Structure 1
């Protein structure tokens, strides 16, 4: 099988799409599946991998770390004609994804789209909600052009159905449970951060309005007023909301900046409770990272997070944007060590069951079904 992948975001950008793509590339190479990735260029590194073809791009105004690509149609067509893909995988819906869709339609190659980002929900946080109808009109057109649209959770599958996007299936996400591991807990790191002998809450993710951090600010301030220096909060990540967070979170809140690799894994494992207020996630990779690290999770009962957390089994859920419910759950985990321990064990087991290999094997089954259907349609035609 040969797979051509089109994406509007790729390494060195770090997000759910790029994380999935990097793992998928590793899987393709390990299983001798030929692939070619078409992605935006960037300001950091030159292309040194023949499997990755980059195209001129500019920064996206809402997300400066993301790019808007302007693919050269002649170069793209030449590369694809030489490669001869069996299937085209569209990880994103905009310029690169649209280029892949057009090529697939023109040459009769099956295309599979992925819904990974709740763009219209994000617009509400930036006072751009007047664009919602226009974007949904485009998204419906784009996804319904494909042989199949994949989404990361049942919640999002139902959401897309209600929005008029048909023929969907699940392409979930996995976790590297060796990389994210409770054994990486580091007392040295806790001392360096000044959180030894404290119960530590952790947030990891983009520090931006659509992550509902205003809810976490209000909740943690209330909890901190009750428990003081017995607790601490670590915020790991960067984004446009960072200055407000530094100003509004209680004194002593620790901001580590952006972390990745072993440093990030150690921060997870060295914390005691992961709190993730975002109600806009299509999946929420960070929730699975925390679980694999054996850290009890509190998350919003919304989006993809809703499907990952089983309340009082491997985590706790609160009604999205309900500050008082979040406060109550934070207090409950502070007070109930037995519950923390139970959630920690079950969270780790959840991570162990969510291997990338299992996820990608399922994806390959999906692609083989699509190719078989095409072959049968060609024969009957």
Structure 2
């Protein structure tokens, strides 16, 4: 199938390939699976048949896309438009990985559903926009232990992002973790009160022992729990990973549905020319694996499997990465071809031209290459670990699984498929049928309408709860002040009582008139003492003591009103003995009134 035949179905990127390195040994003449040679007429007939099938696929795909677009438009009309900021590292525009397809399709689908999207990613030469989404490229740094210059990391802090968010505040921030970008995303969300959704893609705790020191695994889990605790929701790529993170104390987890491009990866791309390239021109069946050549992928295990297979079996390792040189040395002397990086239609042809796809990596959070192989109609033999268990849910019918490190079982599965043509074809067709239901639009529509909404709902619920807690905190502080005043009344009463006794002793020695004169001089001519003295003089010797006793009684009943100044006034103006009698009378009256009021309310 050519690029032109699919151009109208979906835009494709330019095809680029790097050099292919082939390591060979002498092969035997026989084989358990030998491609049939066709004569010229048969080849032309096959080409016409292939073209007819391809045309039918394109027409069916166009009809499906039309129905999907109509459904998406109707859904968009019913849903409010959002502005979504996506923080992702490494860059989906320059670094090839499973995340690349997922985030490119997410950006495309969100735009198709009517949302505004801004993408923040570390990239040396990012596009200004992608599918109508604005792209802000940040400076990044290369990890010292992972020698790939396209895998850039960043902490996400940049003045352009601040300005963009101030001018057009996002309704939601979606950040890929783990990585440094999450710290920047958390900073923006905290400062501007924006909901944060994180999606967990690379299982770093499994990678750490292979690249650094195993003692860093526990601190890494602490960081993962910290990020999870801040985010409104955390998306994971498989239920297996969901269970593992939940077992480590993470909460609010949701599985982001898988998706695969069933047009780009299709059995119709199979070609004899690509088979010759993958086998180095040798006859015999071809098994292979596609992916980044990293230590965590355990691609070296393929040599143990290959050694247990017939000698005419060829192995194709498709991709590039920091471990390529070491792997080439490891596979020296075997029927192994390293193709380097392949993209576009060549990658589609490479998938479809394999006889069996073998996946030895136990660290996959999902395994996009396995789904792409299934979409290409190639049966899969994979290790029973990680997210692969979420894809091959019915082994034996769709794909085969082997226990980790059990290379005998893996070789047994591969050999059975290579020797049994009908079973291999049946399983390839079943694999294709199984992945056809995993469309990107349905996956990302569910993400937008349900999973994002669930995160937003939790964010606003927690924000209202924080406001309530803040109000409760203010009330608690006010209560604490009143509690202090009440509990401090004893100290205040003692202090004022001591001052009153001292004043009375001084008054007894100096005499009431002299004391009053000195107090008046201390407070000034216009003080409240002059007003009180004038009022007592006008009231007379009977009414004045009664009024002062009533005022003192009322002050004793009302909370937080000190009575000691009134006791002092009674001693100053009526003498120590008479003033003490008036204070005692006021205290008795206040106690009687309080007791009567308490009984009336039912207190005993």
Provide TM-score, normalisation by structure 1. 0.93
- Verify the 8 A CA contact 2:87 2:120 in the aligned structure 1: yes
Give the match for residue 308 of structure 2: 222
* 1:107-146 correspondence to structure 2 within 5 Å: 107-146=192-231
**Offset of residue 46 of structure 1:** 4.4
For residue 61 of structure 1, give the secondary structure of its aligned residue in structure 2.
coil
* 1:296-315 correspondence to structure 2 within 5 Å: 296-309=379-392, 310-315=394-399
RMSD after superposition: 1.9
Q: CA 1:186 to 1:243, structure 2 compared with 1: closer, same or farther past 3 Å? A: same
For residue 303 of structure 1, give the secondary structure of its aligned residue in structure 2.
coil
Is 1:173 matched up with 2:258?
A: yes
Give the match for residue 48 of structure 1: 128
**Offset of residue 82 of structure 1:** 1.5
Is 1:260 matched up with 2:343?
A: yes
Is 1:37 matched up with 2:141?
A: no
* 1:291-370 correspondence to structure 2 within 5 Å: 291-309=374-392, 310-364=394-448, 365-370=450-455
Give the match for residue 294 of structure 2: 208
Aligned partner of 1:149 among 231, 234, 243? 234
- Verify the 8 A CA contact 2:156 2:183 in the aligned structure 1: no
- Verify the 8 A CA contact 1:55 1:70 in the aligned structure 2: no
Alpha-carbon separation, structure 2, partners of 1:334 and 1:46: 44
Asked which structure has the greater CA Rg, the reply is 2
1:211-263 deviation per Cα after TM superposition (whole angstroms, max 9, x unaligned)? 1122211111221xxx222x211110112222232223243311110111111
Is 1:234 matched up with 2:316?
A: yes
**Structure 1, 59-68 or 300-309: larger mean CA deviation:** 59-68
Number of corresponding residues: 375
- Verify the 8 A CA contact 2:156 2:182 in the aligned structure 1: no
Q: CA 1:201 to 1:35, structure 2 compared with 1: closer, same or farther past 3 Å? A: same
Alpha-carbon separation, structure 2, partners of 1:46 and 1:88: 20
Alpha-carbon separation, structure 2, partners of 1:236 and 1:266: 12
Alpha-carbon separation, structure 1, partners of 2:366 and 2:204: 14
Give the match for residue 8 of structure 1: 89
**Offset of residue 78 of structure 1:** 1.3
**Offset of residue 133 of structure 1:** 1.1
- Verify the 8 A CA contact 2:286 2:315 in the aligned structure 1: yes
Give the match for residue 244 of structure 2: 159
**Offset of residue 284 of structure 1:** 0.7
**Structure 1, 192-201 or 179-188: larger mean CA deviation:** 192-201
Alpha-carbon separation, structure 1, partners of 2:462 and 2:218: 35
**Offset of residue 338 of structure 1:** 2.5
**Offset of residue 195 of structure 1:** 5.2
Greater fraction strand: 1
Provide TM-score, normalisation by structure 2. 0.60
Give the match for residue 25 of structure 1: 107
Unpaired stretches in structure 1, ≥5 consecutive residues: none
Give the match for residue 287 of structure 1: 370
**Offset of residue 197 of structure 1:** 4.7
Alpha-carbon separation, structure 2, partners of 1:339 and 1:361: 36
1:19-58 deviation per Cα after TM superposition (whole angstroms, max 9, x unaligned)? 211111111222221111111122xx34422611011111
- Verify the 8 A CA contact 2:138 2:158 in the aligned structure 1: no
1:150-176 deviation per Cα after TM superposition (whole angstroms, max 9, x unaligned)? 100000000001111111010022011
For residue 177 of structure 2, give the secondary structure of its aligned residue in structure 1.
coil
Alpha-carbon separation, structure 1, partners of 2:335 and 2:459: 59
**Offset of residue 372 of structure 1:** 4.2
**Structure 1, 71-80 or 178-187: larger mean CA deviation:** 71-80
**Offset of residue 191 of structure 1:** 3.2
Alpha-carbon separation, structure 1, partners of 2:307 and 2:144: 31
Alpha-carbon separation, structure 1, partners of 2:444 and 2:211: 35
**Structure 1, 129-138 or 241-250: larger mean CA deviation:** 241-250
Q: CA 1:270 to 1:360, structure 2 compared with 1: closer, same or farther past 3 Å? A: same
- Verify the 8 A CA contact 2:271 2:349 in the aligned structure 1: yes
Greater fraction helix: 2
